[in-house]
């Protein structure tokens, strides 16, 4: 049985990876470390496949004593690091927590691994770091997609904190020889995503007849990656790549935000023909753009395709439809998340107080 420590495994991508791993590999045991901040929830871990191979521990990745104890007592062989503050808008309003979690937290994990390696010769724990394409900055129309050699040029406090953590991970490989790998992913979407992000926010607002707030002209371009495809890519990198390697992971598409919202609304129109809010796209409301909003992201996935044979399996249209269906079929999960006072106050602070255009 291989013992795997997953940080942030009660969050969106982390919980999907927990499910994927329990379904995919019967020889793993997962130790799931999560602080259960606003976006992490035990609701995301209900009805896991083979739950006896999953142990949840509530704790902070900045607690080095806790991390070192888990490494030693659970004889960890692999760390998959999802835990992060990840919303650009929140980083603009309060960057301090992003510095603490994304930089200090990653540093704490790396230090714990360095000491564990030194005290337990022969136990080289593989550290896989989940990062983002936002560390590369913004692209203009027509510019080539980000590659793994694109210089880091983050625009937001969130992206800067992730770029710093990427540098730390590479430094611990170069300086201490820790076996590390990194994946820089594009925008993820799918089940269990906290509804502050674009796709679930649009689904839930449209279903309830609330305004669909679109930043600026809505022509920002993103690459969208279905979360299960991302999980497959992570596991393939962990199993097959060399230490020290970095891979970009994307969905191979570049729609505008407005096109994403239009597709979501068309799907809702089809699935909810008796809705009093038809057509749902009529709920769109353009609001003041956020500061320093990157115009375009695009990732080149040729390296991971060429070297590891991975490419996304889910088309954007199918992934969006599956995501809309999931949210419509899980009202209990939505009710639990929406009931959090912190979520309601955040939506009001970030969207309702913005100037309408």
pLDDT digits (tens, 9 = 90+) for 170-195: 999 999 999 999 999 999 999 999 98
Residue 331 exposure: Cα atoms within 13 Å on the Cβ side: 2
Clarify whether 158 is annotated catalytic.
Answer: yes
pLDDT digits (tens, 9 = 90+) for 77-97: 999 999 998 778 788 888 999
Distance of alpha carbon 268 from alpha carbon 330, whole angstroms: 15
Options 34, 89, 134, 300, the catalytic residue: 134
pLDDT digits (tens, 9 = 90+) for 317-329: 999 999 999 999 9
Instruction: Work out the angle between the directed axes of helices 12-24 and 227-240 (0-180°, nearest 10).
Output: 60
Instruction: Work out the angle between the directed axes of helices 198-208 and 257-271 (0-180°, nearest 10).
Output: 40
- Is the Cα torsion angle 201, 207, 211, 214 positive or negative in sign? positive
pLDDT digits (tens, 9 = 90+) for 11-39: 999 999 999 999 999 999 999 999 998 88
115, 68 contact by CB (below 8 A): yes
Options 34, 60, 85, 133, the catalytic residue: 133
Phi, psi of 54 (to 5 degrees): -130, 120
Options 20, 158, 215, 351, the catalytic residue: 158
The class (CATH top level) of 2-189+225-251+293-314 is: alpha beta
Nearest to 231 by CA among 16, 3, 80: 16
Structure-model confidence comparison of residues 166 and 351, the more confident one: 166
In the chain, what are the domain boundaries?
2-189+225-251+293-314
Instruction: Output the six-digit token pair for 223.
Output: 């690459």
pTM, full prediction:
0.94
């Amino acid at each position: 049985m291989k013992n795997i420590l997953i940080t942030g495994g009660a969050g969106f991508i982390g919980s999907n990876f927990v499910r994927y791993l329990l379904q995919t590999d019967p020889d793993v045991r997962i130790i799931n470390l999560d602080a259960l901040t606003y976006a992490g929830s035990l609701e995301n871990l209900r009805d896991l496949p083979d739950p006896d191979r999953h142990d949840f521990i509530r704790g902070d990745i900045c607690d080095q004593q806790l991390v070192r104890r888990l490494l030693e007592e659970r004889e960890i062989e692999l760390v998959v690091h999802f835990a992060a503050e990840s919303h650009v808008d929140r980083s603009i309003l309060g960057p301090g927590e992003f510095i603490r979690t994304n930089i200090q937290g990653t540093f704490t994990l790396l230090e714990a691994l360095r000491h564990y390696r030194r005290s337990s010769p022969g136990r080289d724990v593989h550290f896989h770091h989940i990062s983002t394409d936002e560390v590369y900055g913004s692209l203009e129309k027509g510019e080539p997609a980000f590659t793994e050699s694109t210089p880091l040029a983050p625009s937001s406090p969130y992206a800067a904190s992730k770029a710093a953590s990427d540098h730390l991970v590479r430094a611990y490989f170069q300086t201490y020889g820790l076996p590390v790998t990194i994946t820089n992913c594009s925008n993820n979407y799918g089940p269990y995503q906290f509804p502050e992000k674009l796709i679930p926010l649009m689904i839930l607002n449209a279903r309830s007849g609330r305004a669909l707030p679109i930043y600026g002209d809505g022509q920002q371009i993103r690459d969208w990656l279905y979360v299960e495809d991302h999980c497959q890519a992570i596991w393939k990198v962990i199993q097959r790549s060399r230490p020290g390697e970095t891979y970009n992971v994307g969905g191979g598409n570049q729609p505008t935000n407005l096109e994403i919202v239009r597709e979501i609304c068309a799907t809702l129109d089809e699935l909810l023909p008796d809705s009093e809010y038809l057509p749902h796209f009529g709920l769109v409301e353009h609001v003041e753009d956020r500061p320093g909003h990157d115009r375009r992201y695009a990732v080149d996935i040729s390296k991971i395709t060429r070297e590891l044979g991975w490419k996304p399996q889910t088309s954007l249209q199918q992934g969006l439809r599956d995501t809309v269906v999931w949210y419509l079929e899980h009202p209990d999960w939505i009710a639990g998340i929406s009931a959090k006072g912190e979520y309601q106050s955040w939506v009001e602070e970030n969207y309702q107080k913005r100037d309408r255009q």
